Chains A and B, each alone.
Chain A
Amino acid sequence: MIYSSEYETMLRADLEQLQVERLQVTLNRVYRNVLFYKNLYDEKQIEILNIKSLKDLSSLPFTTKKDLRESYPYEAFAVPLRDIVRIHSTSGTTGTPIVVGYTKNDLKIWSTLVARVLSAAGITGTDLVQIAFNYSQSTGGLGFHYGAEQIGASVIPASGEEVLKQIKIMKDYRSSAIVSTPGYALHIVSILEDQGMDPQELNLSTGIFGSEPWSEKLRTEIETRLKIQAFDNYGLSEIIGPGVAFECDKHKGLHVNEDHFIVEVIDPETLEVLPEGSEGELVFTTITKEGFPLIRYRTGDISSIITGLCGCGRTTRRISRVSGRTDDMIIVDGNNLFPAQIEALLFEIEGVEPHFQIILNREEGLDVIELKVEVSSSVFAFDEIRKVQSFQEKIHQQLITSLGLHAKITLIEPKSLGRTRGEKIKRVMDLRTL
């Protein structure tokens, strides 16, 4: 079903008019209310009144993750703090998270956008939607929660319950839809199979998956093993959370909610805007957000704009499945992680050489991280194995407290990690099959 058919099936010319109006309004507001943008445009001598069409957008500078971290916590908000009714934040990559504020209207719009995601996957008021995203600072849990409530579905906020409990809820409460990362769905199915349960015993018919990259192969696997139809969706907290782009039942790319976000794809090296069909970095401009509007935000996600209209009746443009990152960010069980975070943490520990390697594997749908760390010979001189173990445990605990990351720690001797010619260690070995 098309939830907001007035907007999702708008004539392109009318949509363009709406986008220009909303873009100009947003620019007027950020210039008046957000010091970061005022300074940026003044410094670069940009006259926002010269932005007269969508094409002119490309003359504006980008907003980067770095800019937003420097605005920590509230500097980039466009309204006074007391107008904010919800605060989310990103996982805090290099130590400083990006804080995102929502006004009452932002939450209303967000719910509608997520309702579109769910409706496109066939979810209606009669569905029981089990949300297996953590209800935390990140936007996945609450974002889907409000969207599902908006369409009148029965929401089961299963959140971070452990997998057996999730399965019990799914079976006993007769959940008809699951919202999670694709990896978690695979994990559920392997546990089901271990327990000798047949997925047919469940009432599950739909899965809405996101917040980590996945593939068509994984979709087929989830669909056949869990006996459901799986839908992809795309979103990021900085822009709004889930609800930025989503799949319809044609499964031919993700429709962007263009009445609220302007999408561009750029070459991450030259920063030039790329034509439809070319792969590059996704850039979004929010055009209705009150609390935290962003102009040309570089997401770091690689995708492309799909040419032509979809057969579903929506006129919104589609992006292809996100195929990777422009930076070295890795996504582990739906959470963002930068190798630099681990590096900074290891630096603090005495006896550790700043050389390490992250090895990612996927076992039964869950990501398994191994961290190989080079340690000074003195550590190995510990004659007692217990001491080595306690050293390992120290690193392990540090990772949990600082990054919430569970990893298997392997200590190795200096210079034992394979270096490439440039004497550089390959920081991340991703052995997961997506």
Chain B
Amino acid sequence: MLKIRNLEAGYDKLKVLKGISLHVKSGEIVTIIGANGAGKTTLLNTITSIVKTTGGEIKLKDVDVTSASPDRIVKSACALVPEGRQLYPTMTVKENLILGAYTLFRRRDKKAAAEHLENMYTLFPVLKERRSQLAGTLSGGEQQMVAIGRALMSGPELLLMDEPSMGLAPLIVKDIFNIIQELRDKGKTILIVEQNARAVLEIADRGYVMETGSLILEGSAEDLLDNNDVKRAYLGRDYKDFTD
């Protein structure tokens, strides 16, 4: 589904991604874990062309989309759930969701958009109840659902998610991650960037560990949970247990 080779990107003279190679197979949940500032968000923003690529190659379904415009990426069946949700707080839930289908409206495919909206209401019944409510008045978990729903409105095969657990209570995180698993079971492919390593590794198939713009570990989610470097750095185990 997604193949990235030697990706480089940054902001002005600051090189953030230093040659990232990774892949996501169809139907997989793959995660990239790493500390703040490792370059995880930059990676997602580079895949979606919000940040310009300075080197390397991105292939979506075997098509080179390196430096393609963001709307072309969306049309290639890839959508982003951004960090911090980025909803329009003064617009209703329904309006926020419909915004996610702008590529369909441009194609004048109102029927597909309406269908997708119904699907979102089935997937998130609570959003149907609150469809006329302003997005800014929802709880954090509900807002995250709107953000996911909005990304799904364009009918993507690959969903990129940036810190879906951010700012949510542990129980709500569990709900959101259950939804992510459900989406995978329905055939979506998912790449999640997360700081909450333990929660995301529980649902992921594979993962990569990012440190200062480079990937330093790769493996099955199970192996990463067993890796002592991961435990030390990201799973919050007692540091003394692992150091000499």
Binding site for B on A (CB under 8 A): 14, 17-18, 20-22, 24-25, 28-29, 32, 49, 52, 79-83, 103-105, 108-109, 288, 290
**A108 in contact with B22 (CB, 8 Å):** no
B23 touches A21 (CB 8 A): yes
Question: With A25-B218, A32-B216, A82-B242 in contact, is A17–B226 under 8 Å at CB?
Answer: no
Contacts of A28 in B (CB 8 A): 211, 214-216
Q: Does B103 contact A (CB under 8 A)?
A: no
Partner of A25, one of B23, B217, B223, B228: B217
Residues of B within 8 A of A21 (CB): 21-23, 215, 218
What is the minimal beta-carbon distance from B167 to any residue of chain A, in angstroms? 30
| Most chain B beta carbons < 10 A, residue from A24, A80, A290 | A24
Which residues of B are interface residues toward A (Cβ below 8 A)?
A: 3, 5-6, 18-19, 21-23, 208, 211, 214-219, 223, 226-229, 242-244
Selected from A14, A20, A105, the residue in CB contact (under 8 A) with B5 is: A20
Answer whether A29 and B223 are a contact pair too, CB < 8 Å, given A17-B3, A17-B23, A20-B21: no
> B211, B218, B227, B244: which contacts A81 (Cβ < 8 A)?
B244
Nearest to B216 among chain A residues (CB) is: A28
Question: Provided the pairs A22-B218, A28-B216, A80-B243 are in contact, do residues A290 and B21 lie with their beta carbons within 8 angstroms?
Answer: no
Shortest beta-carbon distance from A154 to chain B in Å: 26
Q: A82 near B219 (CB under 8 angstroms)?
A: no
Knowing A52-B6, A82-B244, A83-B228 are in contact, say whether A105-B219 is a contact too (CB < 8 A). Answer: yes
The answer to whether A24 touches B228 (Cβ under 8 A) is no
Residue in B19, B22, B23, B242 whose CB lies within 8 Å of A49: B19
Quick one: which of B5, B208, B211, B243 contacts A52, CB cutoff 8 A? B5
Asked if A80 contacts B244 (CB within 8 A), the reply is yes
Q: Which residues on the A side are within 8 Å of B22 (C-beta)?
A: 21
Q: How far is the CA of A29 from the CA of B227 in the complex (A)?
A: 13
Apart from A80-B243, A108-B223, what are 6 other A-B pairs with CB-CB below 8 Å? A20-B21, A24-B214, A52-B6, A80-B242, A80-B244, A105-B226
**B229 / chain A contacts, CB cutoff of 8 Å:** 79, 83
15 contacts between A and B (CB under 8 A): A21-B215, A21-B218, A24-B19, A24-B21, A25-B216, A25-B218, A28-B211, A49-B18, A80-B244, A83-B242, A103-B227, A103-B228, A105-B227, A108-B223, A290-B227
Residues of B within 8 A of A104 (CB): 226
Expressed in whole angstroms, the minimum distance between the Cβ of A370 and any Cβ of chain B is: 49
Set of chain A residues within 8 Å of B3, measured between Cβ atoms: 17
In the bound complex, what is the Cα–Cα distance between A290 and B6 (angstroms)? 22
Determine which residue in B21, B219, B244 has the highest number of CB atoms from chain A within 10 A of its CB, and name it.
B21
Instruction: Point out the residues of chain A lying under 8 angstroms from B228, CB to CB.
Output: 79-80, 83, 103
Residues of the B chain whose Cβ atoms lie less than 8 Å from the Cβ of A29? 216-217
Chain B residues near A109 (CB, 8 Å)?
223
Q: How far is the CB of A121 from chain B (nearest CB, A)?
A: 26
CB distance from A169 to the nearest CB of B (A): 35
What residues on B are CB-neighbors of A103 within 8 Å?
Answer: 227-228
Give Cα A290 to B214, complex, Å.
Answer: 17
What is the CB-to-nearest-CB distance from B16 to chain A, in angstroms, rounded to a whole number?
A: 13
Q: Which of A20, A25, A32, A49 has most chain B Cβ within 10 Å?
A: A25
Whole-angstrom CA separation of A82 from B217 in the bound complex = 19
Q: How far is the CB of A215 from chain B (nearest CB, A)?
A: 39
The interface residues of chain A lying within 8 Å CB-to-CB of B18 are 49
A residues near B208, Cβ cutoff 8 Å: 25
B215, A24: Cβ atoms under 8 Å?
yes
Cβ B215 vs Cβ A25 within 8 A: yes
**B244–A17 contact, CB under 8 A?**
no
